[in-house]
């Protein structure tokens, strides 16, 4: 058996097997796991529907927002920015990662809190909106935290782009917007697909940002899991929720890959024509 | 006397220091061979709290792992302990008793000392997660000087499993400058009523089922510890109704109270004291209907890797002088009359730390079943995900 196989078995398969086995068990009297074979945990999944609903709405919304903001940024970095500044600008994108997301989220608590942005807005007579502990705050935190993960794959795919293709497109009479739509955008799609996948998968398991910027009122599946394992110590039900989350992820990611592959296939046919 | 090696040459000292710095020898070897270890323990014996103690001379290892609550120790005391014994104090901070219990149930915590709250101790005993204490190794614990109401829960079926650390109450803090013409709330009924009216969007509750559900039960005058399904259903109705009016569900309420985003919160003694000290308009209130009274303990988990160091640390922290410094630092009272004797009168007369007797009498200790009841845990989960 190759070392890689052994590693995969020990680090991926074994823990998953434990989770699946636990999901059919019962909560011990003082919490924890006691062996049993019951489907009750799965039957109770409905009680966490709100958490799944929040996650399945805010994770894709966060991914799309990240994409909309990251694409122009990556485009600027890869194509428009002066080569002399490019490295520096790229480092600036990574710099936030040098500090823990926990500390940066705390900073957002103050920025979005009553003494932060709302106060600034009210001095300009723009009202005093409640921002902190809302889905808006959670989305802001998500976009802020995950943006670099979206920028880099897109940047890489744009940077590799053969500039001669754009010249050829211009020579053949395409205005810049058409060159962008027919050359740049399709060729950067692998980066977009990777970035979206990366951000989406991580967001589905997110719990820190909703806990901190949602004030415990915007509840993700990740938060439900933390509560089940650390607060109510209902490990079997927690395991069932985890299994359900893995299944939801498998389904959405498979669908997503099918779609992107079909899309890529269609494009290849066009390219062959 | 001729063969006595009671000194070390300068050259040899420097050579040993370099060996130690390079990591070729342990600190223990270095301290031993240079005589610094002996010097440290001699100096250590001059520190109050370490005198008379047999373990000061014996080797307790180089570390002790403590699982405790946030802002609950004076770091200077840990430094003194390390200077005297050579054992560094490795502090793990937790957010709830459930989390501590979960970690111990999962096994391999590596803790030597932990700080359970009164209502968890029978559960730890039942689950065989806690060591009975050998009181001979904690000479600074003098049972007679402790208030039995707070020390009692450490003893289960005649065996002492835990010795008292601090006690306190769970009330609420209210920013009185935001009350306007409203009278200052004095009951849990008013707490929830104001939350759903004048203070809408400004109240915080703990992310902790014991206190949040407990104080919702108090709205109806039920026991803080109720696990009666009908009473819990009433509490759930109130919580779900109040949820849209809450600023947040979080046990980290000091930042929001201090910034003025939140105006009222369920609150523990020490937090109430700390906020009131800096912002007198934030007052600490014990609901007239009652609520929670609690007592924290020092205990040693089963399988603690450094048992000697664990006893040494507990004994050190229970020295009245050390304990008094702890208490002045974090703002939670002790149940030890010897410590009270060392406290300044303004502390002893502080109504936040030492509430009036009739308010204390109305309070209840949390019960073991309140923590472990699966229905309360599920209720909290429904409230949070509603």
At B69-84, the pLDDT tens digits run 988 999 999 999 999 9
In a domain, A91, yes or no: yes
Answer whether A119 touches B (CB < 8 Å): no
- pLDDT-derived band at A146 (thresholds 50, 70, 90) equals very high
pLDDT band at A97 (very low <50, low <70, confident <90, very high): confident
DSSP B140-157: T--GGGB-HHHHGGGEET
In whole angstroms, what separates CA A83 from the centre of its chain? Answer: 30
- pLDDT at residue B54 greater than cutoff 80: no
Report yes or no for ipTM above 0.85.
no
Within chain B, all domains assigned CATH 3.40.190.10 are found at 53-167+295-346, 168-292+353-385
Instruction: For chain B, give the mean pLDDT.
Output: 88
Give the Cα separation of A179 and A176 in Å (integer): 5
B360-370 per-residue burial string, b: 16 or more CB within 10 A, e: under 16: eebbbbbbbeb
Number of domains in chain A: 1
**Residue B46: its pLDDT value, please?**
47
Cα A148 from Cα A271, distance rounded (Å): 31
Tell me whether A30 touches chain B (CB under 8 Å): yes
In a domain, A8, yes or no: no
Distance CA B379, CA A197 (A): 35
Let me know if residue A149 belongs to a domain.
yes
- What mean pLDDT comes out for the span A18-43? 89
Tell me how far the alpha carbon of residue A179 is from its chain's centroid: 30
Report the alpha-carbon distance of residue B81 to residue B90 in Å, rounded: 12
Q: What is the pLDDT of residue B107?
A: 87
pLDDT in tens, A174-198: 998 999 998 899 989 989 999 999 9
Residues 46-65 of A with CB under 8 A from B: 47-48, 50-51
Q: What is the DSSP string of B303-359?
A: T-TTHHHHHHHHHHHHSHHHHHHHHHHH----SBHHHHTTS-HHHHT-TTTS--HHH
3-state class of A233 per DSSP?
coil
pLDDT at B24: 56
CATH fold of B168-292+353-385, please?
D-Maltodextrin-Binding Protein; domain 2 (3.40.190)
Listed residue (A221, A227, A217, A216) closest to A241, CA to CA: A221
CB spacing of A215 vs B98 below 8 angstroms = no
Residue A125: the pLDDT is 86
User: Cβ of A216 under 8 Å from any chain B Cβ?
Assistant: yes
Query: Are A30 and B365 within 8 A, CB to CB?
Result: no
Give the pLDDT band of residue B372 (cuts 50, 70, 90). confident
Chain B partners within 8 Å of A216 (Cβ): 207, 248-250, 384
Which residue reads 């001379």 in tokens? B57
For chain B, say whether A103 makes contact (Cβ under 8 Å). no
Residue with tokens 């490990």: A235
On chain A, the residues whose CB falls within 8 A of the CB of B246 are 215, 217
pLDDT band at B189 (very low <50, low <70, confident <90, very high): very high
Res B21: pLDDT: 58
* Interval A130-138 mean pLDDT: 92
pLDDT at position A144 over 90: yes
Average pLDDT, integer, range A102-106: 90
Structural domain of A70: 49-272
Alpha carbons B93 and B321: distance in angstroms, whole number: 24
Q: What is the rounded CA–CA span in Å between residue B216 and residue B384? A: 14
Question: CB-CB: which of B126, B247, B382 is closest to A30?
Answer: B126
Overall average pLDDT of the A30-54 stretch? 89
pLDDT, residue A47, reads 86
Q: Which domain CATH number covers A263?
A: 1.10.3720.10
Q: On the CB side of B247, how many CA atoms lie within 13 Å of its CA?
A: 29
Q: CB of A232 within 8 Å of any CB in chain B?
A: yes
Please report whether residue A14 resides in a domain: no
Give the residue on A whose Cα is nearest the Cα of B106: A32
Average pLDDT, integer, range A96-106: 89
Confidence of residue B4 (pLDDT cuts 50, 70, 90): very low
The CA–CA distances, whole Å, from B292 to B204, B228, B269 equal: 17, 18, 11
Question: Alpha carbon of B12 to those of B5, B9, B19, B22, B41: distances in Å?
Answer: 13, 5, 10, 15, 22
Residue A25 lies in a domain: no
Distances (CA, A) of A165 to A160, A175, A183, B41, B153: 12, 13, 7, 78, 78
On whether residue A23 sits in a domain, the answer given is no
How many Cα atoms within 13 Å fall on the side-chain side of residue A198? 18
CB B293 within 8 A of CB B365: yes
Q: Are B228 and B222 in contact (CB under 8 A)?
A: yes
Fold category of B53-167+295-346 in CATH = D-Maltodextrin-Binding Protein; domain 2 (3.40.190)
Q: Please, which pLDDT band fits residue B3 given cuts at 50, 70 and 90?
A: very low
In a domain, A259, yes or no: yes
**Selection from B51, B91, B98 nearest residue B72 by Cα:** B91
* Residue A148 counted as domain residue: yes
End-to-end CA distance of chain A: 46
Distance separating alpha carbons of residues A29 and A129, to the nearest angstrom: 46
Q: Best interface-test mutation with A: which of B195, B385, B386 has the largest number of A CBs within 10 A?
A: B385
Q: What pLDDT does residue A227 have?
A: 87
Q: Phi and psi (nearest 5°) for B91?
A: -100, 125
Rounded mean pLDDT, A206-221: 91
State the pairing for strand pair B162-175/B282-285: antiparallel
Whole-number CA gyration radius for chain B: 24
User: CA-to-CA distance for A247 and A241, rounded, in angstroms?
Assistant: 10
Distance between alpha carbon A195 and the CA centroid of its chain, in Å? 9
On whether the CB atoms of residues A104 and A182 are closer than 8 A, the answer is no
Tell how far CA A222 is from the center of its chain.
13
| Res B249: pLDDT | 94
Percent over 90 (pLDDT), chain A: 56
Asked if B380 lies within 8 A of A231 by C-beta distance, the reply is yes
């Amino acid at each position: 058996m190759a070392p890689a196989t052994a590693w995969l078995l020990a680090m991926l398969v074994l823990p998953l097997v434990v989770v699946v086995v636990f999901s059919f068990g019962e909560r011990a009297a003082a919490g924890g796991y006691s062996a049993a074979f019951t489907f009750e945990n799965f039957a109770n999944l409905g009680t966490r529907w709100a958490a799944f609903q929040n996650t399945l709405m805010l994770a894709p919304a966060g991914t799309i927002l990240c994409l909309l903001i990251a694409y122009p940024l990556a485009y600027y970095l890869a194509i428009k920015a002066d080569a002399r500044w490019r490295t520096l600008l790229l480092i600036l994108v990574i710099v936030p990662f040098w500090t823990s997301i926990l500390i940066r989220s705390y900073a957002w608590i103050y920025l979005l809190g009553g003494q932060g942005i709302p106060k600034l807005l009210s001095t300009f007579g723009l009202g005093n909106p409640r921002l902190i502990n809302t889905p808006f705050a959670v989305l802001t935190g998500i976009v802020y935290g995950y943006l670099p993960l979206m920028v880099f794959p897109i940047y890489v795919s744009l940077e590799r782009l053969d500039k001669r293709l754009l010249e050829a497109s211009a020579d053949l009479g395409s205005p810049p917007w058409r060159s962008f739509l027919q050359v740049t955008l399709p060729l950067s799609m692998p980066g977009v697909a990777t970035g979206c996948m990366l951000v989406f998968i991580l967001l589905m398991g997110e719990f820190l940002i909703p806990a901190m910027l949602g004030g415990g009122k915007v509840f993700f599946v990740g938060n439900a899991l933390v509560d089940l394992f650390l607060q109510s110590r209902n490990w079997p039900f927690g395991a069932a929720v985890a299994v359900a989350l893995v299944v939801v992820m498998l389904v959405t990611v498979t669908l997503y890959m099918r779609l992107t592959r079909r899309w890529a296939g269609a494009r290849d046919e066009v390219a062959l024509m | 006397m001729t063969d006595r090696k009671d000194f070390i040459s300068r050259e040899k000292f420097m050579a040993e220091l370099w060996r130690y710095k390079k990591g070729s020898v342990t600190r223990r070897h270095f301290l031993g061979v240079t005589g610094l270890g002996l010097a440290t323990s001699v100096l250590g014996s001059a520190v109050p709290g370490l005198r008379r103690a047999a373990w000061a001379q014996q080797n307790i290892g180089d570390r002790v792992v403590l699982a405790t609550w946030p802002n609950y120790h004076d770091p200077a005391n840990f430094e003194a302990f390390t200077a005297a014994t050579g054992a560094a104090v490795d502090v793990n901070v937790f957010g709830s008793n459930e989390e501590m219990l979960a970690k111990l149930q999962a096994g391999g915590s590596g803790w030597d000392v932990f700080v359970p709250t009164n209502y968890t101790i029978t559960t730890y005993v039942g689950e065989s997660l806690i060591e009975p204490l050998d009181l001979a190794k904690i000479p600074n614990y003098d049972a007679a000087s402790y208030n039995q109401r707070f020390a009692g829960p450490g003893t289960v079926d005649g065996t002492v499993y835990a010795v008292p650390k601090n006690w306190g109450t769970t009330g609420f803090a209210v920013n009185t400058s935001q009350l306007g013409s409203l009278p200052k709330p004095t009951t849990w009924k008013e707490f929830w009523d104001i939350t759903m009216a004048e203070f809408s969007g400004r109240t915080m509750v703990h992310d902790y089922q014991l206190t949040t559900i407990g104080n919702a039960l108090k709205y109806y005058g039920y026991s803080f510890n109720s696990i009666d399904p009908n009473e819990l259903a009433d509490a759930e109705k109130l919580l779900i109704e109040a949820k849209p009016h809450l600023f947040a569900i979080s046990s980290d309420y000091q930042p929001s109270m201090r910034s003025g985003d939140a105006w009222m919160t369920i609150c523990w003694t020490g937090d109430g004291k700390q906020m009131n000290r800096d912002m007198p308009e934030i007052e600490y209130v014990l609901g007239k209907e009652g609520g929670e009274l609690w007592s924290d303990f020092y205990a040693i988990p089963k399988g603690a890797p450094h048992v000697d160091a664990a006893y040494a640390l507990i004994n050190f922290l229970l020295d009245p002088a050390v304990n008094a410094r702890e208490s002045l630092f974090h703002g939670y009272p002790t149940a030890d009359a010897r410590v009270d004797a060392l406290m300044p009168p303004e502390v002893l007369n502080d109504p936040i730390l030492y509430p009036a007797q009739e308010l204390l009498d109305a309070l209840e200790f949390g019960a073991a079943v309140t923590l472990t009841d699966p229905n309360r845990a599920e209720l909290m989960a429904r409230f949070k995900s509603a």
